[in-house]
Amino acid sequence: MPKIEIEPEFCKGCMYCAETCPKKVIGTTSAVNSKGYQYAVPLHPENCIGCTLCAVICPDAAIEVYKEE
Amino acid sequence: MKKIYARPKGLYRNINGYCPGCLHSAAGKIIMSVLEEMDLLDRTAMVDGVGCCANNDNYMDLDAIGTPHGRACATASAIKRCSPETIVITYQGDGDLASIGLAETMLAANRGDNITVFFINNANYGMTGGQMAPTTLLDMKTTTTPFGRNPKEHGYPMDMCKILSALRGPSYIARVTCIDVPNVRKARQAVKDALQHQVDGKGFSMVEFVSNCPTNWGLTPLESLRFAKERMLAEYPLGVYRNL
Ligand SMILES: Cc1ncc(C[n+]2csc(CCOP(=O)(O)OP(=O)(O)O)c2C)c(N)n1
Ligand code: SF4
Ligand code: SF4
């Protein structure tokens, strides 16, 4: 199953990724990072299809994507 | 598991100082990813303008120099002439490139100096609190045009791609944006094409990024993307303006 990793310390909570993801994988919780930003998290990782669109749109390069070989 | 999308290697592993949703970050990310792909990271020097781009210092791991406001193109031309093997890029806001540095920009373009200019157009002076820039849209409210930009008093938005395309010196000029995925991909291609022009010694190249400034526009990041799409792109059409 494909997988995304969002680095909380690079994320500023702009939500461009959540808006872009066709499978609505990404959202937020009440957690904030050391700068106080409510960072994005893969709330529904099981729905990820590995399309990389969230990573492409993320301005802060906080998202990396993995797929089985 | 195979990593199929990675953070560009040239970005420092820390958070940068740009505001949430600011597409300055996106431009820097694309530039670094293309420099990595073209294997140019080790031979590139970046000349930063003055403004929010000062945040590049803790974002992009490149040899870099800061210049007095507006003088980036002159500095870059000098570096390139002294060290032709170095890939020389500038990274400038609209206040920097189109206002205080207009002479330096025009003259470097007119000389066809073999440098690549990255121009971030967010329609205001972001760093100093959102004053009007030459690129501010008509009717747009800024801290120095509180009733909106009025052409009789403040002049018209300046289209730098068109203005520079009127010169014979430039070899590549394009306008892109990072407001959605298809456009991010096109922006990446334009950055690559511009840098290839420099590698091939063809002369002055520029990529203008139609950007946003959620903080000074008074919009959320997502609202700022909609504003950029509806209003900025109407004034600043995307495309390749020069490709020799
Ligand atoms: C000679 C000079 N005048 C004025 C300033 C103050 N100043 C610093 S940043 C800035 C605005 C930069 O705006 P822009 O180039 O549009 O970049 P942005 O911050 O929007 O990315 C100004 C006027 C300065 N540093 N030097
Ligand atoms: S696009 Fe990037 S910075 Fe914005 S919320 Fe998503 S992971 Fe965070
Ligand atoms: S002030 Fe505007 S241009 Fe500067 S970092 Fe913030 S959003 Fe970006």
Give the domain ranges of chain B. 24-243
CATH fold of B24-243, please? Answer: Rossmann fold (3.40.50)
Q: How far apart are CA B153 and CA B194, in angstroms?
A: 36
For residue A13, what pLDDT band results from cuts at 50, 70 and 90? very high
At B23-38, the pLDDT tens digits run 999 999 999 999 999 9
Give the model's pLDDT for residue B203. 98
Give the model's pLDDT for residue B137. 98
A·B CB contacts under 8 A: 79
Q: How far apart are CA B125 and CA B103, in angstroms?
A: 18
For residue B12, what pLDDT band results from cuts at 50, 70 and 90? very high
At B123-160, the pLDDT tens digits run 999 999 999 999 999 999 999 999 999 999 999 999 99
Asked if B29's CB is within 8 angstroms of A57's CB, the reply is no
Rounded average pLDDT over A44-51: 98
Give the model's pLDDT for residue A14. 98
Taking residue B101's Cβ as centre, other Cβ atoms within 10 Å add up to 25
Quote the strand ranges of B49-192, DSSP E: 63-66, 87-93, 116-121, 124-125, 131-132, 172-177
Question: Which region, left, alpha or beta, applies to residue A52 given φ > 0 means left and ψ of -120 to 50 means alpha?
Answer: left
Minimal-distance CA residue to ligand 2 atom 4: A14
All structural domains of chain A: 2-67 (3.30.70.20)
Asked if B185's CB is within 8 angstroms of A56's CB, the reply is yes
- Residues of chain B with C-beta less than 8 angstroms from the C-beta of A64: 3, 5-7
Q: How far apart are CA B74 and CA B113, in angstroms?
A: 9
The residue of chain B nearest to residue A62, with distances taken between CA atoms, is B7
> Residue B48 pairs with which residues in a beta bridge?
B66, B91
- In this predicted structure, the answer to whether residue A47 has a pLDDT above a threshold of 90 is yes
Counting beta carbons within 10 angstroms of the beta carbon of residue B165, is it exposed (0 to 12), middle (13 to 18) or buried (19 or more)?
A: middle
For residue B3, what pLDDT band results from cuts at 50, 70 and 90? very high
- In this predicted structure, the answer to whether residue A42 has a pLDDT above a threshold of 90 is yes
Give the model's pLDDT for residue B89. 98
Contacts 24+ apart (CB under 8 A), A26-29: A26/A54
> Which of the ligands is closest to the CA of residue B133?
1
Going by C-beta distance under 8 Å and a sequence separation of 6 or more, which residues neighbour residue B131?
A: B95, B124, B125, B142, B143, B144
Asked if A68's CB is within 8 angstroms of B2's CB, the reply is yes
| Residue with tokens 């394009």, as numbered in its chain | B174
What is residue B142's DSSP assignment? B
At B95-104, the pLDDT tens digits run 999 999 999 9
Give the model's pLDDT for residue B115. 98
Rounded average pLDDT over A59-63: 98
| Residue with tokens 């995307």, as numbered in its chain | B238
Work out which ligand 1 atom sits closest to the CA atom of B92: 15
- Percent pLDDT > 90 in chain B is 100
Asked if A69's CB is within 8 angstroms of B15's CB, the reply is no
Rounded average pLDDT over B185-198: 98
Mapping DSSP to helix (H, G, I), strand (E, B) and coil, where does residue B139 land? coil
Q: How far apart are CA B184 and CA A55, in angstroms?
A: 11
What is residue A51's DSSP assignment? -
Give the model's pLDDT for residue A19. 98
Q: How far apart are CA A61 and CA B3, in angstroms?
A: 14
Is ipTM over 0.95? Answer: yes
Mapping DSSP to helix (H, G, I), strand (E, B) and coil, where does residue B234 land? helix
Q: CB distance from A59 to chain B under 8 Å?
A: yes
Give the model's pLDDT for residue A69. 83
| Residue with tokens 């009789």, as numbered in its chain | B152
- In this predicted structure, the answer to whether residue B207 has a pLDDT above a threshold of 90 is yes
